[in-house]
Amino acid sequence: MALINRRGMLQGVTASIGAAVGASLLPGRALAESATRATTSAGKPKRIIFFLQNQGFDPETCVPEGLDAGASLAGVTLPEPISPLEPYKGKINIITGIHGRHTSPSHSAYFGALGGYRGGIGVAPSGETIDHVLSQLLPQTILPHLRIGMDALENMISRPTLATLSASGPGKPLFMHSNPNSLYEMLFGGISTGDVKRRFEARSKVFNRIEELAGQGGRTLPTKERERYDSYVDGFREVNGLRERLAGVSDHLKKFAPEYGDKFLKPEFETDWHDSLLDLGIAALKSGVTNVLTIGSGRGEIFGSWKGLGVVQAGHNLGHVKQPDNPIWIKIRQYNCQMLVKLMDALESMPEGDGTMMDNTLIVYTSNNADKQHTSGANWPFILLGNCSGRIKTGQYTQLDGKRPINALYTTLLHAIDAPRDRFNMDKTTAGMHDPKVGPIEELMA
């Protein structure tokens, strides 16, 4: 039997704790209640995917030539950077004219990109983000919200988990997974063989013992430190519970586990791990393990690397390269769109109800810092893919007037899943400065 590397074991333990601390991997509802809720929600939206690319999303790279107002996409050609979506333009909605001035996006809005509030490097989340909220409202699963982050290979190795985009509440960041080997083990370790199986079983024993010991400590700590300590104990408890729940559906999971080969174990470029992470996200969606997937390309920061695409430049410098007509950004954006197509095709291949999983899905593609680096956030482009069970208009370009904030788009998503609110993360005072209307963006609703 091969020895399990101790350093690798400890790194995996740290990664798993990080992915669980501050998160609720399964809300406080019984699984029976969750199953009932999923059954009674037939015909309603069942899953939403967020894909955020760092360094901005210049509207000139997504608006078809000649369109200076909202219009149908029929009969027009999509710009080269998003050309992989051309066969699917009847299923998309390209949106410009939404703002995020109040989020201070500049290099990145960080948690503010999905929270609709002020963000920035080192700024803790001031509220829950839309992806977490939706994960609590959609039909419940074993892992309601899965988050994956793509970056330079050295960054994914040195920091296998990172929290910059999602949050479950004020001061409660949610970590994303960046090492596909650790994520594969978490999702499919119970059905694996060899070293993966041995690591899974060994870590499970470690987690159980640490949870037991940790639960006995911390009683003499000051209140604030005790709360932080308890969050780590809860993290171990959630990891252990998740592993048990996944083991309980191991026969089902076998049908969806991606091939575990050299792309995982011997990546030549960071894009090998990007592809592996996407495959794991797709497997989690198709198997029903999760209903909300958040993908952070660049992980909400100012770094990132795409050497596997032949892009030599990396990191912050990419943000200072103009995107329109730039071969570097054409490659990166097309790679993103190929991932979006892969997601759509995978869900389209899975029957669900009278149609397919894609019929009951919405994919939200944007950037975590609006249109570009050092931006005011005055124009924050989005592409919506899928109609969310017929709730969202597709096959069109929607140009808004720049008055409504990203919060209004997130309010629209809540209306689309039949969980309406007047506003999302915006009180009357803030709304008085940044949003002249209440409720969803009507131009988007079908």
Closest-CA residue to 149 (of 137, 140, 158) = 158
Please tell me the pTM assigned to this model: 0.85
Residue with tokens 């029903």: 288
Euclidean distance between CA atoms 199 and 305, whole angstroms = 29
Tell me which DSSP letter residue 66 carries. T
Q: How many domains does the chain have?
A: 1
Please report whether residue 127 resides in a domain.
yes
DSSP state of 58: -
Strands 355-356 and 351-352: antiparallel
DSSP lists the bridge partners of residue 356 as: 351
DSSP state for residue 279 in the 8-state scheme: H
Encode pLDDT of 160-216 as tens digits. Answer: 999 999 999 999 999 999 999 989 988 887 665 566 556 655 555 545 555 455 555
Amino acid at 113: A
- How confident is the model at residue 65, as a pLDDT? 92
Residue 238 has a pLDDT of: 63
Is there a domain that residue 231 lies in?
Answer: no
User: Cβ(108)–Cβ(303) under 8 Å?
Assistant: no
User: Encoding tokens for residue 150?
Assistant: 């793509």
DSSP class of 392? B
Give Cα separations from 334 to 63, 65, 270, 328, 376 (angstroms): 14, 17, 16, 10, 26
Task: Give residue 359's identity as a one-letter amino acid code.
Answer: D
Is 230 part of any domain? no
Q: Which residue type occupies 105? A: P
- CATH number of the domain enclosing 62: 3.40.720
pLDDT of residue 23: 37
**Is position 205 within any domain?**
no
Residue 32 contacts residue 39 (beta carbons within 8 Å): no
Q: Please identify every stretch of the chain with a pLDDT value under 50, giving residue numbers as ranges.
A: 1-40, 206, 211, 236
Residues forming a β-bridge with 355: 352
User: Whole-angstrom Cα distance, residue 349 to residue 127?
Assistant: 36
Query: What is the model's pLDDT at position 316?
Result: 85
Q: Are 369 and 107 contacting, i.e. CB atoms less than 8 angstroms apart?
A: yes
Domain assignment of residue 171, yes or no: yes
- C-alpha to C-alpha distance for 245 and 253, rounded to whole angstroms: 11
Integer Cα distance of 129 and 294 in angstroms: 11
Q: Is 18 part of a structural domain of the chain? A: no
Quick check: is 259 in a domain?
no
Whether residue 14 is contained in a domain is answered as no
The CA–CA distances, whole Å, from 164 to 230, 282, 363, 399 equal: 22, 22, 20, 29
Domain with 59 in it = 28-182+267-444
Q: State both tokens at 420.
A: 């309406």
Q: How far is CA 22 from CA 18, 19, 184, 238, 335, in A?
A: 8, 8, 21, 10, 32
Vertex 421 angle, CA 418 and 423, to 5°: 140
Tokens 């989005």, residue? 382
